[in-house]
Amino acid sequence: MPDPGSPTHPSIQLRAARPDDTAQILDLIGELAAFEKLSHEVVADESTLRDCLFGERPYAEVVIAERNGEAVGFALFFHNFSTFLGRPGIYLEDLYVRPEARGHGLGQQLLAHLAKLAVERGCGRLEWCVLDWNEGAIRFYRRLGAVSMDEWTTFRLTGDALEAMAHAMDI
H helical segments located in the chain: 22-35, 46-54, 106-120, 135-143, 159-166
Contact 91, 127 (CB under 8 A): yes
- For residue 92, the cross-strand partners are 77, 128
Closest CA to 65 of 35, 31, 21, 33: 21
Beta strands in 35-158 (DSSP E): 61-67, 70-82, 87-97, 126-128
Residues classed as catalytic: 141
Closest CA to 32 of 92, 109, 122: 92
- For residue 99, the cross-strand partners are none
DSSP 74: E
Q: Rounded to an integer, what distance in angstroms lies between the CA atom of residue 15 and that of residue 66?
A: 8
